[in-house]
Every structure is written in C-alpha cells, then in structure tokens.
Chains A and B, each alone.
Chain A
C-alpha cells in the first residue's frame, strides 16, 4: 500500500510538472507551476492545498529561419541576446479527490533584450494570471491508468502597454502581460508501466483572444511525455519531452510572418521530497528540434526551480472527529 502510494506521488508530480514547463515567454499559454500530488493525474487530494513558489530563467542568443540558424549581414540593430527571469506562486486546492482548482500568477523581474550595438530594452511587471480546473474522468481500479480533463483561462492582469520612466513605450516582447484573455483545454493521462514507474502524457490546446491593441497571439498546442526514475530516498530523476506548436500571431487581422513555430525539447530534472510534504524541484529545458516561420530569435535554454508545500486543511476537525469516534 505504501509502495503504491509512493508510485502515485511520483506520477502526480510528473503530471503536474507538465504545466510548469509551458513557455512563459509565449504568455498566451497555461503556465501553471503546480506540482500537485495526490488523488490522480494532476489532482490534489480532497481538501488539500498546495502552495508552490517557482522561478524560471530563459535565455536566447540566436536567430533561426526554418530549421537553421540565421545570421544577419550589414544589420546594425540585431539582437545579441535576450533573457527573462520570472517568478510566481501557484495555489492548488482539491475540492474533492476528483476535482482540483489552481490559480497561478507571477512577476517578471526582467525581460531583457540586448542588441549587438550596445542598445537594450528592459521591461518588468506582473504577468497575466491563470486559473485551471481539473477533473478526473477515469481511474482504473488497479491504479494503472488515470485520465484527467482540464479547462482553464488566463486573465490580462499583466501590463501590455508599459512605458519607460522617460515616456517611451516598451516593445511587445518585453511587456509583462498580453492584454488578452485566453481559454485552454486538454487532458492528462498517467499510465503505470512498471511497479515503480509511470508515464504521463498530456496535451493542452489554447486559444488567445485579441488584445485592445488588436494583437492576437497564435493558438497553441503543447504535448508532453514524461517519466520518473527513483534514484534515492526522496530523490527522483525526471525525464520529459515537450512538443510545442504555435500558430502565427495576427496584428490588425494581418498575419505576422515571423511568428509561429514548432519545437521539440528535452527537459531533464530532479525532484527532491523532504520534511513534511515539502518538495524542491529543478528542471532544465534544451530544445532538440525546431522550426520557425520567417526569422525569429529563439530560446537557447531554460531553467526552472520550484519549492512546494502541501497542506491538509481542516486536519484538526478530522482529528477531533476521530477522537470522538474512539471515545
């Protein structure tokens, strides 16, 4: 029973890690960083609250056109590198063992673009907030298979029209929000392939609305496959592959040629569980294959670190009830 519980916990971590790997820079996508663990794929146990603080650093340094690197000739203002530091908090609550609700929000400490000629642009601020409802629709009696559906949305709480202190409007790429609502839906499936190993599959579609400046990010589909290997007591190795497909953006109903891409990335990571329901996780994101429409400045790598704590609410009441029963 304890062994089965441990396997479930690992599966739950994997299924939750799925969300925390979505690209934050492409903001119009669900970026939940919850590392929910509990009652099913991506779900928390009944009346359990999970608080996760996370940090992500992403770094880019090359232009790509199609599958190949692109080098500008005689262009005085091209990017040398760009990066962002994003941190946030995710709260998840298990209403029942089959229904979990999550909200996420964060802050871009900086979104920086450095140019070859020494020019730079920096933006920062609160990101858009996201909310996701997850519902388990199937769980096999032997706990081999668990399927969870999810639906969510993002709210334009971040700034999409920020200016520098000197009164110059910051570019779209360094704004902390999108200014648009978005809706998403998908599924998450956890399959136990061995006694101590599970594979988690997920697919999430997202549709973004048009912001007040008539900009619309392309719709997206993000698919993940992941598994975990237990190394030591409380320490696990996470192996994950992510496929992202982003359609082109539109500005005033005009398709933006250099937007939209497909990418396959590997995300190795470690998960360390300690103390009373604490968990520390770190993941590295390395693109393996990519195809970009037009010419785009693309992510080189990403690193994510998160710290989470799970709390059982109304625990005291249960204890009181139990002692009353015993009495």
Chain B
C-alpha cells in the first residue's frame, strides 16, 4: 500500500512542479494621471487617508485605491469581501468582475510593526451597458 501512496504522491508532485506561485500583478499605465502618494518615512506613524478613483465603475473596468500613511517599515494589507484586487503596497487596483455587481467595502490596514490602523472606502460596481 505504501508503494501505491508514494506513486500517487509522485504523480501529483510531477504535475505541480511547474505551477505558478500565489500572487497578483497589474501593469502600471505610463499615462496614469494619478501618482501614488510618496511615503513619508521621517514622521511618526499615521494612516491619514484612503482614497479611491473613481468610486463608481462598470463591469470590466477598474479603480485605483491609494493609502497615504507616514512612518517607517510600513506594511499594507488589503481586503475586499467579494471582488478582485491587484497590486501591492500603498497603491492597488480593484477590478469589477461580472460576479460582483453591487456595493463593496475595501479595507486597508497599515502597520509599522508596533502600531496599526484601519481605514475603509466604498466602491459601487454597476452592470456593463
């Protein structure tokens, strides 16, 4: 039986050997009108702003979300209950998939390892015309 289980495990290992690792990517537009806010690393920890542009989008479109915070060694954690998020750091994109028509809250947690603060923005996804 051991031989069969080992063979089964090998069968699966071979299949998944070349698989891509977990993650997301969003190509940055060269013509982007909005520049992500620079991170001030000299001031004390503070999460000052969370903004979204635009806050109403149609299916197939996307919005940019920016977090403005100050402090050293900041980490950003992004959450949406139902939807697609791309990117990382203080600037992400939220995509409007057909599955997710309606209103959604986007949560951003910024931490410097000692302090942590949470802010929310709201996005409305409409059906494609």
Chain A interface residues toward B at CB < 8 A: 49, 51-53, 55, 63, 72, 74-78, 85, 87-89, 107, 109-110, 112-113, 115, 117-125, 162-173, 213-215, 251, 254, 256-259, 294-297, 307, 309, 311
CB distance from A258 to the nearest CB of B (A): 4
Residues of A within 8 A of B50 (CB): none
Say whether B24 contacts A167, CB under 8 Å: no
Question: Are A112 and B23 interface neighbours, CB within 8 A?
Answer: no
Q: Is B27 an interface position by the 8 A CB rule?
A: yes
A-B pairs, top 3 by smallest CB distance, nearest first, are A75-B60, A166-B88, A53-B8
B-side contacts of A63, CB under 8 Å: 98
B15: which A residues are within 8 A, CB to CB?
A: 55, 85, 87, 109
Contacts of B58 in A (CB 8 A): 75
A-B contact count (CB 8 A): 154
Expressed in whole angstroms, the Cα–Cα distance for A55 and B16 within the complex equals 10
Contact A53 B11 (CB under 8 A): yes
A171: nearest chain-B partner, CB-CB: B84
B residues 25-79 near A (Cβ < 8 Å) are 25-27, 58-62, 75-79
A171, B97: Cβ atoms closer than 8 Å: yes
Q: Is the interface of A mostly helix, strand, loop or mixed?
A: strand
Residues of B bordering A, CB below 8 Å:
1, 4-5, 7-9, 11-12, 15-16, 19-27, 58-62, 75-89, 92-93, 95-102, 127-128
Cross-chain contact B101 with A311 (CB below 8 angstroms): no
The answer to whether B19 touches A109, judged by C-beta atoms less than 8 angstroms apart, is yes
Closest CB in chain B relative to A120 CB, distance in Å: 5
**Distance in angstroms between the alpha carbons of A52 and B7 in the assembled complex:** 10
Residue of chain B at shortest CB distance from A295: B98
Chain B residues whose C-beta falls within 8 Å of the C-beta of A110 in the assembled complex: 19-20
Q: How far is the CB of A191 from chain B (nearest CB, A)?
A: 32
Q: Which residues in B have their C-beta under 8 angstroms from that of A118?
A: 25, 27
Interfacial chain B residues near A107, Cβ < 8 Å: 12, 16
Report chain B residues within 8 Å CB of A115.
95
- B24 CB to nearest chain A CB (Å): 5
Question: Closest residue of chain B to A278, judged by CB?
Answer: B4
Pick the contact of B22: A124, A251, A259 (CB < 8 A).
Answer: A124
The distance in angstroms between the C-alpha atoms of A165 and B76, with both chains bound, is: 11
Instruction: Pick the most buried of B25, B87, B89, B127: most chain A CB atoms within 10 A of its CB.
Output: B25
A47 shortest CB reach to chain B, Å: 13
Known: A52-B8, A75-B128, A115-B95. 11 other contacts (CB 8 A): A53-B9, A75-B61, A109-B15, A167-B75, A167-B88, A168-B78, A170-B24, A173-B84, A213-B81, A296-B98, A311-B1
